[in-house]
Structure 1
Amino acid sequence: MDFTETEIERYARHILLPEVGGTGQRRLLEARVLVVGAGGLGAPLLMYLAAAGVGTLGVVDHDTVDLSNLQRQVIHDTGGLGRPKVDSAAERIRALNPDVRVSAFAERLTPANALDLVSSFDVVADGTDNFATRFLLNDACFLAGRTLVSAALLRFDGQLSTFKAHLGAPHPCYRCLYPEPPPRGLIPSCSEAGVLGALAGTIGCLQATEVLKEILGIGTGLSGRLLMVDALDVAFRTVRLPRDPDCPLCGTRPRYRDLSHHETGARP
């Protein structure tokens, strides 16, 4: 297990950790992580995964950088206004750690491309802001046999969990929590209800931590548990999230075993 002198210096604080060491750092360097959404969650998530030395990062986002993004999407800056988010993010990642390979996908996640994208990576992180894409990504990860680390934000609240129902019981999937998407318009988006910018950093960093733990195989992951964060009261609460035997995806009588039921054009 040979590291260059630059790698030893860059990752010294990881290598010193008995739970990581040289073996774990090599796992990170060889890992491939897909991040869907280069926004409020994706920004800190991508930066910390790059800093940790995750060897290949895929970034999916069809949007461009807007001034209203900069209150929380810290991977972008004022000079990048109007640029594709994947290009802005890739430039920042390479500046932070030039050894990281970046695969940029400036496109929407759709039923037509989701399985191919997900299958090309080891772990998938959901940094999206709408239910259509969350459900599509959950179903694609289950069908492709990939672990999904999913987070969400709204106003002063955040939540985080890990889904790997493809491994079987007792692991749940996202549909064990929400069997179907809520009616359109029932739950507002961040653009409609707002979000505290710093909270995106908090949840995004926790999400990066869970991705790194999944790659390293250390600690207790969040599969089967849902972490809920209330920033106003500085309250962190974890609740049990059991596998639902009647889940329409991973239950005993599944209704969804392909992606044909999803609407096309889901967006990050």
Structure 2
Amino acid sequence: MKSTLADRQRGQLCTRLLSGTTIAFLGTGRSLSKIEFLASSGIGHFILVDGGTVERENIGQSGFACDDIGRLKGDVAADRVRRINPEVQVETFACRDHELEDLNAVLRNADLIIDGTDSLSAAMRLSRAAFQLGIDALHIRTEGDNRQYVIAGTLRNAPGLGCVRCFLKSACDRHEAGHQSPPFFNSHRIVPETLNVKGAWVALGLLHYRAGSTLSIASIGEHFAQLPCWIGLNGIHGASGDIFPIRAYREPLPSGWRCPVCGTSACAKPPVQRPEDPNQERDRQ
């Protein structure tokens, strides 16, 4: 990353930390701008897994352009990353996660896994892999008619519930019982872009927090680690009148239930929120 960019980020992001960080993306379509945001921030190594090709209908719904049509989504994302930072390392896998010969082998050197797939089956597979490997994973997706979105975590050493299967129990129960969501919901590009910005904030915050940074962005990661499931709304919440509200979410679990992915018991207590550190904004660079 050029020194001028590092200078402009000083006190905001630790360029040295991010240049040595590996992020694995499973699904690159609607995550395209999130990948670009993180490349601009200085992430030094990307693993991109996506077997899809860019279709004409993707143009109005994501960051792809007409001359991307027919190309592999992962290759387009790799090219965008290299245009931002020619020194970045990029590995691409032109397949879906379940088609990888050894998913854990691909992910084991990552510092963070970002699940941008549309499938709850994939989310649970990636959650299980992250849990086994001891790597943080973010599950970032829209739900329902795209008005609602979710940022959930499968976090190592979680103080409460441990994975996306715990946090989205009702949705996962319906999925495992055979419920099939429509293959797509009509939408426009602003929907995923709204989520991509928030997802990039959480990813950068979590990376800084895990590294022990005292930059202010680490407080986002600390807060997310304590309450790792956030539900947002694209629109107006009728009950409160709030525009684009986002709130922490913890689904009540039945007594005796135990998560089939991470093994967390339903009796796990919510984490205790700690007061903010007044020295949080000091720069350790």
- TM-score range (shorter-chain normalised) is 0.7 to 0.9
**What are the residue-to-residue correspondences of 1:4-153 with 2, within 5 Å?**
7-17=2-12, 20=13, 24-40=14-30, 42-74=31-63, 76-110=64-98, 112-153=101-142
TM-score normalised to structure 1 length: 0.81
Q: Aligned to 1:228, which of 226, 231, 236?
A: 231
Aligned partners of 1:35, 1:143: CA distance in 2, in Å? Answer: 18
Aligned partners of 1:196, 1:228: CA distance in 2, in Å? Answer: 20
Pick closer, same or farther for the CA change 1:26–1:242 going to 2, 3 Å. farther
Contact 2:40-2:85 at 8 Å conserved across structures:
yes
Stretch moving more, 118-127 or 28-37: 118-127
Q: List alignment gaps of at least 5 residues for structure 2.
A: 210-217, 237-242, 266-285
1:188 matched to 2:182? The reply is yes
Q: Deviations over 1:67-104 (max 9, x none)?
A: 11111220x22112111111111111111221221111
Aligned partners of 1:89, 1:235: CA distance in 2, in Å? Answer: 28
Cα drift, residue 52 of structure 1? 0.4
Aligned residues: 239
1:247 matched to 2:259? The reply is yes
TM-score normalised to structure 2 length: 0.77
Identity %: 21
Structure with larger RCO (C-alpha < 8 A, sep 6+): 1
Aligned partners of 2:128, 2:77: CA distance in 1, in Å? Answer: 26
Secondary structure at 1:220 match in 2 = helix
Pick closer, same or farther for the CA change 1:104–1:48 going to 2, 3 Å. same
Cα drift, residue 168 of structure 1? 4.2
Aligned partners of 2:11, 2:246: CA distance in 1, in Å? Answer: 31
1:177 matched to 2:167? The reply is yes
Pick closer, same or farther for the CA change 1:216–1:242 going to 2, 3 Å. farther
Pick closer, same or farther for the CA change 1:151–1:168 going to 2, 3 Å. closer
Pick closer, same or farther for the CA change 1:243–1:141 going to 2, 3 Å. farther
